[in-house]
Amino acid sequence: MDKPRRPLFAVTLARGALRQTPPRQQVLEVFASHPERLPVAEVHARLRDPRINLASVYRAIHRFCSLGILVTAGHVPAGQTYELSDDYRAHHHHLICERCGTVTDIEECRLKPVERRIRRQTGFHVRRHDLRFYGVCPTCAAR
Amino acid sequence: MDKPRRPLFAVTLARGALRQTPPRQQVLEVFASHPERLPVAEVHARLRDPRINLASVYRAIHRFCSLGILVTAGHVPAGQTYELSDDYRAHHHHLICERCGTVTDIEECRLKPVERRIRRQTGFHVRRHDLRFYGVCPTCAAR
DNA sequence: TTACGTGCAAACCCTTTGCCTTGTC
DNA sequence: GACAAGGCAAAGGGTTTGCACGTAA
Question: Model confidence at A4, in pLDDT bands (50, 70, 90)?
Answer: very low
- For residue B75, what is the enclosing H or E element? strand B70-76
The per-residue pLDDT for B47 is 96
Residues of B in contact with A104 (CB under 8 A): 122, 124
Question: Model confidence at A75, in pLDDT bands (50, 70, 90)?
Answer: low
Mean pLDDT of B74-99: 78
B21 Rama sector, left if φ>0, alpha if ψ -120 to 50, beta otherwise = beta
Query: Would you say residue A99 has pLDDT above 60?
Result: yes
Chain B residues 38-97 within an 8 A CB cutoff of chain A: 72, 74-75, 80, 95, 97
To the nearest whole percent, how much of chain A has pLDDT over 90? 38
Query: Would you say residue A70 has pLDDT above 60?
Result: yes
Q: What is the pLDDT of residues A25-54, one digit of tens each?
A: 999 999 998 877 889 999 999 999 999 999
The tally of CA atoms less than 13 A away on the side-chain side of residue A110 is 8
Query: Distance (Å, rounded) from C-alpha B121 to C-alpha B128?
Result: 17
The answer to whether the beta carbons of residues A109 and A91 sit under 8 Å apart is yes
Query: Would you say residue A10 has pLDDT above 70?
Result: no
pTM of this structure: 0.78
Q: What is the pLDDT of residues B59-74, one digit of tens each?
A: 999 999 988 889 887 6
**Any bridge partners for residue B74, and if so which?**
B81
Helix (H, G, I), strand (E, B) or coil at A70: strand
The per-residue pLDDT for B81 is 84
Q: Which of B97, B125, B134 shows the shortest C-beta gap to A141?
A: B125
Mean pLDDT score of chain A: 84
What is the chain A residue with the closest CA to B140? A124
Mean pLDDT score of chain B: 84
Q: How many CB atoms lie within 10 A of CB B78?
A: 9
The Cα of B89 is separated from the nearest Cα of chain A by a number of Å equal to 18
- Cβ of A133 within 8 Å of Cβ of B126? The answer is yes
Q: Which of A88, A62, A99, A122 is nearest to B97 (CA)?
A: A122
The answer to whether the beta carbons of residues A7 and A88 sit under 8 Å apart is no
The answer to whether the C-beta of A44 is closer than 7 A to strand C is: no
- Cβ of A122 within 8 Å of Cβ of B106? The answer is yes
Least confidently predicted of A33-37, B12-16, B98-102, B128-132: B12-16
- Cβ of B106 within 8 Å of Cβ of A127? The answer is no
Question: Model confidence at B50, in pLDDT bands (50, 70, 90)?
Answer: very high
The answer to whether the beta carbons of residues A95 and A108 sit under 8 Å apart is no
Query: Would you say residue B138 has pLDDT above 90?
Result: yes
The answer to whether the C-beta of A23 is closer than 7 A to strand C is: yes
| Positions of E strands within A56-115 | 70-76, 79-84, 93-97, 103-106
- Cβ of A115 within 8 Å of Cβ of B138? The answer is no
